[in-house]
Homo-oligomer: A and B are copies of this chain.
Amino acid sequence: MTARHLRTPSDKIAPDVLCAALEILDELGPDGFTVRAIAERADVAPMAIYNHFDGKNGVLEAIWADGFDQLRTELGVTTGDAEVDVMAAGMAYRSFALEHRAHYTVMFMHRFVGFEPSVDAAHLAAGAFQELVNHIERCQVLGLFQSDKATNVAQMMWATCHGYVSLEILNINFSDKPDETYIHLLSGLRNGLAT
């Protein structure tokens, strides 16, 4: 759009690229996620992606890290009622995934060629998981979820949330009421593991 050979201020490049990358991922999916397309959308030279990130995978790493940081925040909300909080975290998980599909795609849905998150990024992912463990542990103090370690129960909960949401994003949800079915699934799991 903007005429070429006008240059973008240095401190605007990184956010512009990230924004453009997320837009393209949302609109075109992983197929359209190319260096040249991102650069054009951000109104920036392709080289900028190599100077400000570490190439295409650097952009993916930034999205991955940003996603797990947001997810950790949204899963970490507490009200004082642990039993309410754990269900709220389950709801927040789905909301995050459906409202940030680009992030969720990078984090869980697609193996981009050559992309392996760094150890720092993996640590962020573990941090998000830890929020689930914390919820479970607070419930266990109240006498719930006694049948297994908090880590294992949290793994079950994450699997349940991710499974429902990922099938939904892949458009293979046969439920006639997806919202209610998700709530039903969450409460069913809670009841089944309550003792």
Contact = CB atoms under 8 A, between A and B. Distances in A.
Interface in A117-132: 125, 129
Interface residues of A, number: 46
A152 interface: yes
A114 B174 contact: no
Task: State the copy count for this chain.
Answer: 2
Nearest to A148: B184
A77 to B, nearest CB: 21
A46 interface: no
A192 interface: yes
A161 interface: yes
Interface residues of chain A: helix, strand, loop or mixed (majority): helix
Given A156-B185, A160-B185, A177-B152, A170 B113 contact: no
Contacts of A125: 172
A5 to B, nearest CB: 33
A154 B181 CA distance: 10
A109 B112 CA distance: 11
Interface string A162-185: 111011001011111100010011
A104 to B, nearest CB: 13
A176 B192 contact: no
A52 interface: no
Nearest to A113: B31
State the 9 A-B residue pairs at the shortest beta-carbon distance, nearest first.
Answer: A163-B163, A192-B192, A188-B192, A159-B164, A159-B163, A191-B192, A156-B185, A188-B193, A162-B163
30 contacts: A30-B111, A108-B166, A109-B111, A110-B111, A129-B172, A129-B174, A147-B184, A147-B188, A148-B181, A148-B184, A151-B174, A151-B176, A152-B177, A152-B184, A155-B174, A158-B163, A158-B167, A159-B163, A160-B160, A160-B163, A160-B185, A161-B163, A162-B167, A188-B189, A188-B192, A188-B193, A189-B192, A190-B192, A191-B192, A192-B194
